[in-house]
Chain A
């Protein structure tokens, strides 16, 4: 079936099987490999992207269900050649080692800050509780999100 959706602002159309999962549509059909394909069981959160601004696990959504919706992937965070503060935070605070969980962490981290510009450590830890990192022990990820909260982009309303 032919499926069209907006990914990071660009209209993308492909003919795929109805059983195609959104994570595979984004990676294989749209060619955006930033979103990672991890556990396949909605546990690890490496595949988190936004559908209409809300993060979901794209291994557990059909691409067909996403047709007609606005998708934002990790590639969509950077604006005009400038990294989003959440991305800069992960650089500043060494928020990744192997990097496999990072795209999901970035998408959830950005979402946490969009809803709560000054989250507590507990709120960040709760917010990323649907995502697994096997390298950092999470401390540097929490620090990275805190860094982004303390360094909002100029167009963000600082809390």
Chain B
């Protein structure tokens, strides 16, 4: 039987209340969001908080909305809400593709974006998506709000820029008109963590890539991305050859370790192949949008 060790519980009534509770209890407190990372960790005694601060009542952390030229996703938005969001699907189909392969439909009903990101598993899918889309994380503490680029959010496996006494409140994604995006993942069985995953978001202008975002998960890519491959593609035509070269560069920049999900060379091969597929589909979608906008 797996049950968490004894723990105290308190429900926060607002973000300000949650912050003051965190401040009051210091590093003995943990925020409880969807609980689908934290409760399993507590059952295994890998996490031993003294008090849980439940933030499920905080509606201010919910909702997906457009704010100027950004899409804002609240920390307590569930995976199911991201999967089914018409706003996200219109601008960034990559979210639907990634969410479809995160866990299973019932887990997605409870697990949250903020919880997943703060757990910061090296194979976490939304981290790769966030890197590809160059999102910005908004973190709140007693002094106010600060922002951290997605590409600087992770300090290492299971470590992020969210410090004790802070809450991740939302992630903001710039809207890129005419962009194409796609996500590719290989897992051992349906709903499992990725053996490797890759996402891409590109815009094409004048027949060449005008912006390229690549996100890579589970293979120890620095900041979940591959900046060399991105830089190589900008200004180049979206040919199969250019994409293959970039995908190889991306794979070469990864440093996967062998584990029960597979040997390192296999994971590196996947990084190349999945980056290639994601870039190819993203480029095709971007071109399609571009042509539509010109009435073709």
A: which residues have CB within 8 A of B? 1, 17-19, 21, 24, 40-42, 45, 48, 54-57, 60-62, 64-65, 108, 126-127, 129-131
Contact = CB atoms under 8 A, between A and B. Distances in A.
Contacts of B60: none
B207 interface: no
Contact of A61 (B6, B43, B110): B110
A19 B7 contact: yes
12 contacts: A18-B7, A18-B52, A21-B3, A40-B2, A45-B104, A55-B109, A61-B35, A64-B9, A65-B32, A65-B35, A130-B103, A130-B107
A60 B2 CA distance: 10
Given A57-B110, A62-B9, A64-B54, A129 B3 contact: no
A60 B7 contact: no
Contacts of A57: 106-107, 110
Most chain A CB within 10 A, of B4, B35, B104, B107, is at B104
Contact of B36 (A1, A60, A126): A60
Q: 6 nearest interchain CB pairs?
A: A130-B104, A18-B9, A40-B2, A130-B106, A19-B4, A64-B9
A53 to B, nearest CB: 10
Interface residues of B, number: 29
B105 A129 contact: yes
A54 B109 contact: yes
Interface in B103-133: 103-107, 109-110
A21 B32 CA distance: 14
A125 to B, nearest CB: 10
Contacts of A62: 9, 32, 35, 39, 52, 54
Nearest to B103: A130
A127 B109 CA distance: 12
Interface string B1-43: 1111111110100000000000000000000100110011011
B263 interface: no
Given A18-B52, A19-B7, A41-B40, A56 B190 contact: no
Interface string B186-199: 00001100000000
B182 to A, nearest CB: 20
B56 interface: yes
B35 A127 contact: no
B9 A40 contact: no
A55 B78 CA distance: 13
A121 B89 CA distance: 24
Given A19-B3, A57-B110, A62-B35, A129 B104 contact: yes
B5 A55 contact: no
Given A54-B109, A62-B35, A40 B7 contact: no
A131 B105 CA distance: 10
Given A18-B8, A18-B9, A60 B105 contact: no
B105 A65 contact: no
A103 to B, nearest CB: 13
Contacts of A56: 106, 109-110
A18 B105 CA distance: 27
B35 A19 contact: no
Contacts of A61: 35, 39, 110
B6 A17 contact: yes
Given A19-B3, A62-B35, A65-B32, A55 B106 contact: yes
Interface in B69-102: none
A119 to B, nearest CB: 12
B40 A126 contact: no
A138 to B, nearest CB: 12
A129 B109 CA distance: 13
Contacts of A48: 106
B250 to A, nearest CB: 30
A48 B104 CA distance: 12
